[in-house]
Structure 1
């Protein structure tokens, strides 16, 4: 499982909050070190996420077709009843 930049930033924020609330200097230092590590992980995750290739034209067309079919299905079921016919 790949760690996302968002998750890393949340963890960094938690560690910074721990450091700010910690009265003991050694535990404060540990939390600050953890925040630095989460920052480094977030930067790495950002690089990995930015390298993900966007959908090619065929994938984009298929995705659009599914979205249009779903929207049409929602419009057809405007009475609120779902089609339960298994056939």
Structure 2
């Protein structure tokens, strides 16, 4: 049975989303710009540059998400070793 301390650690790890939130904030504005430029048939070079920027941000968001999940995994492993 999980102790209150273990549950608190899990809760803290799951709620630690600050890095992901910041990464998403940086991603949403360029995504809106990309969709707008694409819809308005803007210069293909501008769209390509923005697409490249979005791809780099997508990779960063993936890495941040993996760090988040690894943090949760570490807490769960720590709790399982304590027993």
Q: Output the TM-score relative to the length of structure 2.
A: 0.47
In terms of fraction of residues, the more helix-rich structure is 2
* Structure label with greater radius of gyration: 1
- Higher RCO structure, 1 or 2 (CA under 8 Å, sep 6+): 2
Q: Output the TM-score relative to the length of structure 1.
A: 0.45
